[in-house]
Structure 1
């Protein structure tokens, strides 16, 4: 049987070893150790500030906790499963360092508000790191876009050729997705940055604590106004996992496009050796492992979001042990998002090249200029729906004849409708098709150049 834990005077025997292992969270919540120490230092200062303990005791606790931090960083302190969780591990080591005064640290505090504080401190840091990674990702997208304003690429709807667009315009779509991710995380941060410290187990405490004092020390914006809510709230975790899932959606969509673009069927990009792998049996292969892994890892983040929703949906107030299950999902989602953002940023910056000649050819080998023929007629007084039907018939007969619209003779155009003149050929060139779409937010070159200026302005916001 294992050694009795702190609460064990209530019990006649210790936990069964298998149950102790099952109950323990130290194997993963050790990730929170420095945040636990930081939160405990603020709590110790508050206890001294309010006179609950002496200033000398508060200083001893603070310094002892700092020693624990340094021992952990130097790998001199590595608690095992017998500690159960990171909170007991730190408190036990602290008491070994400073003596009985270490036992005063937990005055006016529960593990319930303690773990909530630690998790928020951790997630607060991680959100800021992910936001910076999003900025790096966006910067690379803009860098590439600035070099490809007049590079054309087929645009698709339903994965069918639709209309040619500026490659820069296409890349900026992902810039704006990432911008929403960046802003969304800022919004999530505002609800992460609320202190539950001092809520106790569920009902507050009889000690004259100052929750705002400790919250200020930890740079929280607010404190929970209801102790029950404070120890049981995991909305901020769900919100973060939702934001993380949306980031992964965006990365997965870009991954899917890169996978298609790198295929022999598309041949829009070439993967560089630094970001591709080969086949174990087919020597000619160059595989897009980075985007495939990003696409695959997206599901695990979705899974953590679903798991957290299921955990929370039936929990009565206040704290329940089920909430221990939030940690691994948070940690894994953070690590997954950060790894995928880093990998995709490197892939874009160093791992692929756009095949400009292939792209230039691709936008000339289809009927993606058909809408511009209809627009041509509409600009000359033909009702658009009528023009649409006319051009539909032209496309049908051209396909049957094995021709593209650019191959039609002027006489053929004028037989279709007398409004056609020799300028139809310029109107349906891919470059003009793109340049003409100069409405706000469109793919016209003027609009794209202004969009790039706006993007650089957005990147300057920290």
Structure 2
């Protein structure tokens, strides 16, 4: 039997079991990582006296040659191989004969797959971080041109208070910066090597898990061999980070969809990042933004699938863990497609800044300015809020805006009001007054922009 476990069996598996049991269809992408770990393991076997110097040299050369054949497609796995580990051992034995079989000493597919998947995740998390950082840079570049561009700020999707477009774009950037922080934090926990844990109990052979961990770029070996082969926290945590990236992409996509609609008209999407209709020739659809919104459900679903798989597993390895890889692969693959497209959409969209500027004061969005003006005169905010609300009611009844209240009517609304209150009923003035750190005033937004750019310039993995 070609199977790694066939010694006590008198016959091969049924076709139905072989089809169900095989993971080669999706775990083949782990082949380069398995080969890397195999080289480290071969060196440890040599130091343990289990491979001679000549055997090690031949082993490493064969693994290099096998890696080249894997890379160019000359060597591939088959369903008869069952999984990537079996396929690569077959390839090694084909090249080395019995010497190829020596590499299995002191390791199990259980610690192999746990190691391979960690290597894969850590490698691809760096690519994910680079893509997220590129999106933050695109948001910052747009924000730079819109630091003092007014727009209606909204709560409940209703006009609330004026903000700047730069402030709103940088609000999206903050979420992605947190994602970069999460990736860095995650990597610190993922940087432990399971290789040497064996099937579950370690090994009686004189191996050196510390040396293997160091060679593979891990900080240390796992602290417990049972946990080492069964732990998939690192995969679940990475899927959580992917889900949060997806949610932030979805929220950004939702706003771009609104902004690019006829009703808003705040932005025009570039043709390169829009699609059309097969029946309506005038259509220009925000498909990138919609796919950003849609794929978030898929990313959350992958996280949920793995968590449900893990929740009831006894120690240590169980075949259920074959289900850990596809959600990870799918989430990372989809973000690798999605993030560059969203970044391109953001970088090329053109803001029609005069449209949100014109609507910034509508919907009585400056009412809070009246309340704050009264507070500065010593009126308790509770009373100031009521007076400002009465101004809104007065305007609604007459179909006018706040700045159009007649001077004579101000005193009739409240004895505390006089025509000088109109000085604060100006969008640019209201924005300029927002000077506290993190607020929407142009100076505060410029400071945020500098902080965001500094953060992304020093984000993980650049900070390593």
Interval of TM-score (by shorter of Structure 1 and Structure 2): over 0.9
> For residues 30-81 of structure 1, what are the alpha-carbon distances to aligned partners after superposition, in whole Å with 9 as ceiling and x for unaligned?
1101001101111111111221221211221111111111011111112221
Per-residue Cα deviation, 1:340-373 (whole angstroms, up to 9, x for no partner): 21111111012x2111121111113221100001
Match of 1:417 in 2: 414
- Whether 2:362 is the aligned partner of 1:365: answer yes
2:88 maps to which of 82, 87, 90: 90
Kindly indicate whether the alpha-carbon contact (under 8 Å) linking 2:236 and 2:306 is maintained by their aligned counterparts in 1: yes
| Distance (whole Å) between structure 2 residues aligned to residue 127 and residue 229 of structure 1 | 22
1:115 is aligned to 113
Q: Secondary structure at the match of 1:162?
A: strand
Aligned to 2:405: 408
Does 1 or 2 have the higher relative contact order (CA < 8 Å, sep 6+)?
A: 2
In the alignment, the residues of structure 2 paired with residue 422 and residue 394 of structure 1 have an alpha-carbon distance, to the nearest angstrom, of: 13
Residue range with higher mean Cα deviation, 310-319 or 260-269: 260-269
Which has the higher mean CA deviation after the structures are superposed, 426-435 or 408-417? 408-417
Shift of 1:257: 0.6
Matched, 1:169 2:170: no
For 1:448, the equivalent position in structure 2 comes to 445
Is the CA contact (8 Å cut-off) linking 1:4 and 1:15 kept in structure 2? Answer: no
Note the alpha carbon deviations across 1:158-200, whole angstroms, 9 max, x for none.
1111011011111111111111100101111112111000000
When structure 1 is superposed on structure 2, of 194-203 and 382-391 the one drifting more is 382-391
Which residue of structure 2 lines up, in the alignment, with residue 220 of structure 1? 218
Q: CA deviation at 1:459?
A: 2.3
CA contact (8 A) 2:162 2:361 kept: no
1:49 touches 1:55 (CA, 8 Å); kept in 2?
no
Task: Name 1:347's counterpart in structure 2.
Answer: 345
Correspondences of 1:292-307 after superposition (within 5 Å)? 292-307=290-305
Post-superposition Cα deviations, 1:408-437, rounded to whole Å, max 9, x if no partner, equal 122222332344344423311111111111
* 1:445 CA drift (Å): 1.3
TM-score, normalised on structure 1? 0.97
Partner of 1:80: 78
* SS of equivalent to 2:163: strand
Over aligned residues, Cα RMSD in angstroms? 1.2
Structure 1 residue 17 corresponds to structure 2 residue 24: no
CA distance in 1 between counterparts of 2:440 and 2:190 reads: 38
Q: Is the 8 A contact 1:45 1:59 kept in 2?
A: no
2:148 to 120, 132, 150: 150
Q: Which residue of 2 aligns with 1:318?
A: 316
Checking the alignment, whether the CA contact within 8 Å between 1:137 and 1:341 is kept in structure 2 is yes
Aligned partners of 2:134 and 2:418: how far apart in 1?
49
State the distance in 1 between where 2:191 and 2:307 align. Answer: 21
Q: 2:198 aligns with which of 192, 197, 200?
A: 200
Where does residue 282 of structure 1 map in the other structure? 280
Q: Distance in 2 between matches of 1:264 and 1:246?
A: 30
Instruction: Give 1:280 deviation, angstroms.
Output: 1.5
User: 1: CA distance between counterparts of 2:207 and 2:225?
Assistant: 13
How big is the shift at 1:272?
1.8
Judge conservation of contact 2:133–2:456 (CA < 8 Å) in 1: yes
Matching residue of 1:309: 307
Q: CA deviation at 1:98?
A: 1.6
Of 245-254 and 338-347, the range deviating more from structure 2: 338-347
The secondary structure found in structure 2 opposite 1:277 is: coil
**Residues 1:241 and 2:239 are matched in the alignment:** yes
Structure 1 unaligned regions, length at least 5: none
CA deviations on 1:139-168 (whole Å, 9 max, x unpaired) are 111111111111111111111110110111
Q: Distance in 2 between matches of 1:312 and 1:236?
A: 12
Kept after mapping to 2: 8 A contact 1:245/1:305? yes
Deviation at residue 380 of structure 1 after TM alignment: 1.0
2:410–2:419: 8 Å Cα contact kept in structure 1? no
Q: Distance in 2 between matches of 1:409 and 1:55?
A: 96
State the match for 2:29 in structure 1. Answer: 31
Query: In structure 1, what is the Cα distance between the partners aligned to 2:305 and 2:262?
Result: 39
Distance in 1, matches of 2:34 and 2:62, equals: 13
Provide the rounded CA distance (Å) in 1 between the counterparts of 2:196 and 2:7. 25
State the shift of 1:9 in Å. 2.5
Show the counterpart of 2:185.
Answer: 187
The whole-number CA distance in structure 2 between the counterparts of 1:437 and 1:142 is 20
What displacement does 1:204 show? Answer: 0.7
On the 8 A contact 1:437/1:443 being kept in 2, the answer is yes
Does the CA-based 8 Å contact 1:110-1:200 persist in structure 2?
Answer: yes
Q: 1:5 Cα deviation (Å)?
A: 2.0
